[in-house]
């Protein structure tokens, strides 16, 4: 990547500093104590809470003292189930100060299915075998029984006012190969796979990310992303913590209720960098009306990184059209391919102040029938758009294979990743590790293709729908269904159901209505969606059903849980089914 850094002098110095650290604790020791670290926005508060690095480390040291008194030692696992807040971040850092292995789990909210959460919480805590579980005072009492623990597992609620001198205690001195923390690969069953990451792998990722993004000490991050997911955890907590950047944070729930609040925070604090899932771009463009936009100034944002698989051109363009008039630079919208198993980012589009992510159009019929990306003009009636997720970060390699055979450019296959940032295994799950890692290559489960060095991610291998010998990708169908005005933004799901009589799959599409009024027009809306899918994809769905508002189950990462909603359909729980 070439071109001057947009954030001012010092580009490259920050990454070089990260290269010098042996462990993440070196970065904490090196933090400028008077510099701002985290600002937390909460609606209705007269002022935002800001902690300097010095105050943050004092709180973390207080938590470390609490854990030590409860018998926590280096190498012990500490589980944190707390709402998004500086208190959660300090509790996490406190465990690291002892050399313990912390991990953050999703906190129960109204947006997470209760039964799915109970099942997931029991499963993941059973696998972690924690020495200590850290909860906030408001944790629901009826969920305490779902925390799997043996006789040696303690439960503690940290004192928000407890502080200690960060220079007075004995910090741990871990080796670079020691596990720094566990993050969880987001899933629809409640975070089942713990990804154990050593200090060395995390620091390699942070330095490579800093170089790809041309980060400097002047950068400021804004985020609503949950800290139990790699996008929010690594990019918006661990990166600024170790690289000494200011991060402005809000909770996912507060953002959902006020989608424009993140952009107002970006304006107020002159934020420069953020990461978002694809749906968030359309969500903000549609939910922040033009009348509320004049007070925005997004000119400071030089990198708004779309980390979804796949990236949607329409979503990016809709956001650019909506917020270009309030200062958003045309090249600010960028892309990345990221996952917990690679610590975070695998690829990144160029951040040079001028380049946009590569967009191509391919022949839809050829792509679905043969898995080949034949380029066509954008105006071609068969054109199917793809947006690149960028090129590999420093030290990272990607292969696209059929089995173990590398495929030529433009052919769709399984995506494999190799990098010093790739995890060494799933925590206490050697069975899953053996299936995922081969000779240092991680088999991601995603499919995509390479073209001129750019990676284009198509979707998940397990989600492909095969109808009459054609490979259909659910995201394409879901985008069509969600485009109907009666469907809630991003609330459509497509999946295949085996049809043994025909020896193929039937296509089923569920879409969530915006309102009860829209639901009352079910037959007309379903007919519109069916015709649109047939016209654009050339396949008629066997079932199209408009479901009531809030019926769809979402994953812990905020995505519509495709497999869980498919299971609900197969169990016969579809509303209004004959």
Ordered structural domains, the chain, with CATH:
13-257 (3.40.50.12780), 359-461 (2.30.38.10), 464-570 (3.30.300.30)
Q: What is the C-alpha to C-alpha distance for residues 317 and 490, in angstroms, rounded to an integer?
A: 16
**346: Cα within 13 Å, side-chain hemisphere:** 30
Give every CB contact of residue 522 below 8 A, 6+ residues apart in sequence: 513, 546, 576
Helix (H, G, I), strand (E, B) or coil at 449: strand
Which position has the token pair 């033009």? Answer: 290
Q: Residue 258's closest CA among 289, 237, 226?
A: 289
Q: What is the pTM of this model?
A: 0.87
Indicate whether 378 pLDDT > 90: yes
Tokens of 189: 């069953």
**41: Cα within 13 Å, side-chain hemisphere:** 21
Whether residue 248 contacts residue 269, with contact meaning beta carbons closer than 8 Å, is answered with: yes
Predicted pLDDT at 2: 27
Predicted pLDDT at 4: 28
Q: What is the C-alpha to C-alpha distance for residues 186 and 120, in angstroms, rounded to an integer?
A: 11
Average pLDDT of the segment spanning 272-300: 94
Q: What is the C-alpha to C-alpha distance for residues 25 and 250, in angstroms, rounded to an integer?
A: 25
Pairing state of beta strands 220-223 and 132-135?
unpaired
Indicate whether 381 pLDDT > 70: yes
Indicate whether 49 pLDDT > 60: yes
Indicate whether 9 pLDDT > 50: no
- Where is 126: in which H helix or E strand? helix 114-128
Q: What is the C-alpha to C-alpha distance for residues 472 and 490, in angstroms, rounded to an integer?
A: 18
Q: Residue 283's closest CA among 301, 309, 257, 249?
A: 257
What radius of gyration, in Å, describes the C-alpha atoms of the chain? 23
Question: Which of these ranges, 201-210, 250-259, 465-474, has the smallest mean pLDDT?
Answer: 465-474
User: What's the pLDDT tens digit per position in 101-143?
Assistant: 999 998 887 666 667 777 777 778 888 888 999 999 888 887 8
Q: What percent of the chain has pLDDT over 90?
A: 69
Backbone angles phi, psi at 540, to 5 degrees: -90, 125
């Amino acid at each position: 990547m070439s071109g001057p850094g947009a954030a001012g002098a010092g580009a490259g110095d920050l990454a070089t500093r990260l290269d010098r650290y042996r462990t993440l604790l070196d970065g904490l020791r090196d933090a400028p104590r008077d510099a701002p670290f985290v600002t937390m926005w909460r609606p209705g508060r007269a002022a935002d809470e800001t902690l300097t690095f010095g105050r943050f480390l004092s709180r973390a040291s207080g938590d470390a003292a609490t854990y030590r008194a409860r018998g926590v030692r280096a190498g012990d696992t500490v589980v944190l189930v707390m709402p998004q807040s500086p208190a959660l971040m300090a509790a996490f850092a406190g465990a690291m100060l002892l050399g313990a292995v912390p991990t953050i789990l999703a906190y129960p909210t109204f947006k997470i299915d209760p039964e799915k959460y109970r099942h997931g919480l029991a499963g993941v805590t059973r696998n972690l075998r924690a020495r200590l579980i850290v909860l906030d005072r408001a944790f629901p009492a009826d969920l305490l029984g779902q925390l799997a623990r043996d006789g040696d597992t303690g439960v503690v609620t940290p004192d928000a006012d407890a502080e200690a001198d960060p220079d007075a205690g004995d910090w741990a001195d871990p080796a670079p190969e020691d596990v720094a923390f566990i993050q969880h690969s987001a899933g629809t069953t409640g975070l089942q796979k713990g990804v154990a990451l050593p200090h060395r792998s995390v620091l390699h990722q942070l330095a490579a990310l800093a170089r790809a993004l041309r980060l400097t000490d002047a950068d400021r991050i804004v985020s609503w992303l949950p800290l139990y997911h790699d996008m929010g955890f690594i990019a918006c907590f661990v990166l600024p913590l170790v690289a000494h950047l200011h991060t402005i944070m809000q909770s996912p729930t507060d953002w959902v209720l006020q989608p424009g609040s993140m952009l107002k925070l970006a304006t107020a604090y002159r934020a420069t960098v953020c990461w978002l899932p694809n749906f968030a771009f359309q969500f903000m463009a549609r939910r922040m009306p033009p009348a509320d936009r004049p007070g925005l100034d997004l000119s400071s944002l030089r990198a708004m990184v779309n980390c979804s698989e796949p990236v949607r051109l329409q979503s990016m363009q809709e956001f650019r059209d909506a917020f270009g008039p309030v200062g958003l630079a045309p090249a600010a919208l960028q892309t990345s391919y990221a996952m917990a198993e690679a610590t975070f980012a695998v690829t990144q589009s160029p951040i040079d102040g001028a380049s946009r992510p590569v967009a191509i159009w391919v022949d839809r019929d050829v792509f679905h029938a043969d898995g080949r990306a034949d380029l066509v003009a954008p105006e071609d009636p068969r054109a199917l758009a793809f947006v690149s997720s960028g090129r590999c970060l420093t030290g990272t390699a990607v292969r696209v294979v059929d089995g173990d055979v590398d495929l030529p450019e433009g052919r769709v296959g399984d995506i494999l990743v190799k990098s010093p940032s790739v995890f060494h295994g799933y925590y206490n799950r050697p069975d899953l590790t053996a299936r995922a890692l081969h000779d240092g290559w991680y088999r991601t489960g995603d499919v995509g293709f390479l073209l001129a060095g750019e990676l284009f991610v198509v979707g998940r291998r397990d989600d492909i729908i095969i109808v009459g010998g054609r490979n259909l990708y659910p995201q394409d169908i879901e985008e069509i269904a969600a485009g109907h005005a009666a469907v809630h933004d991003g609330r459509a799901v497509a999946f295949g159901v085996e049809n043994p009589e025909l020896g193929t799959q039937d296509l089923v599409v569920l879409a969530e209505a915006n309102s009860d009024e829209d639901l009352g027009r079910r037959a007309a809306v379903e007919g519109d969606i069916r015709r649109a899918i047939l016209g654009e994809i050339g396949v008629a769905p066997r079932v199209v059903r408009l479901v009531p508002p809030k019926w769809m189950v979402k994953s812990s990462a905020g995505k519509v849980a495709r497999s869980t909603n498919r299971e609900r359909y197969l169990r016969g729980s579809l509303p209004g089914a004959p």
